[in-house]
Amino acid sequence: MSGAAGKVVVLDYGFGNVRSAERALARAGAEVEITGDYDRAMAADGLLVPGVGAFAACIAGLRAVRGDWIIGRRLAGGRPVLGVCVGMQVLFSRGVEHGEEAEGLDEWPGTVGPLRADVVPHMGWNTVRAAEGSRLFAGLDADSRYYFVHSYAVHEWSLESANPALRPPKVSWATHGEPFVAAVENGPLWATQFHPEKSGDVGAHLLRNWIETL
């Protein structure tokens, strides 16, 4: 990590709470810049990809600023990326919302589909069953609560490491009506369905855990 904190870019592509993310990352100790500039996003120690709104619109916004290239190139070089909310969902193969199917970035196999619960959207605080050995949730209690706002989620995880020399992905889960993927740690690519930037002290702790890996 360069310097004491590390430089984090919050990718600005028109679909995310970029100011909230900026404040939360700064609180967690990072030097933060909001930009959609390709070169600056590539040069940062860490890249946070926010996301609010419809899957298809977020994908279109990402591609408009070459965000798909930025994410792909960073990951190819082992450079850390953190996706949040729809910024996590777009990392999967496809999303289906209101009958409309859109291709995702296909970093992970899987489909983002409607939450099947009595109350939708899932809005408010919920616990997460952290994966064993998780670095993202290190130092956080099992009863810690995180802030969710979403109507769609990934309900199945199928990717496992084919190379025994590589660490398998760590997948954490939450439940609203049924279990869904709440967070993933997969090499340099991490993501959360919940909003760390809206999760108070617990979210700040989680972001520090990420920043410390840069």
Q: Which residues are known catalytic residues? A: 85, 195, 197
CA-based nearest residue to 72, from 52, 91, 94, 50: 91
Measured distance CA(187)–CA(183) in Å, rounded: 13
Q: Say which residues have a Cβ less than 8 Å from residue 97's Cβ, sequence separation at least 6.
A: 54, 55, 56, 112, 114, 152
**Do β-strands 108-114 and 145-150 pair in parallel, antiparallel, or remain unpaired?**
unpaired
Q: Which residues of 29-65 are buried (b: 16+ CB within 10 A; e: fewer)?
A: bbbbbbebeeeebbebbbbbbbbbebbbbbbebbeeb
Please, are residues 62 and 98 in contact by the beta-carbon 8 Å criterion?
no
**Do β-strands 92-97 and 108-114 pair in parallel, antiparallel, or remain unpaired?**
parallel
Alpha helices in 77-137, H assignment, sequence order: 86-89
> Which tokens sit at 90?
């777009």
- Can you say whether the dihedral through the CA atoms of 36, 154, 55, 193 is positive or negative? negative
Residue labelled with tokens 């977020």? 58
Q: Which amino acid is at 184?
A: V
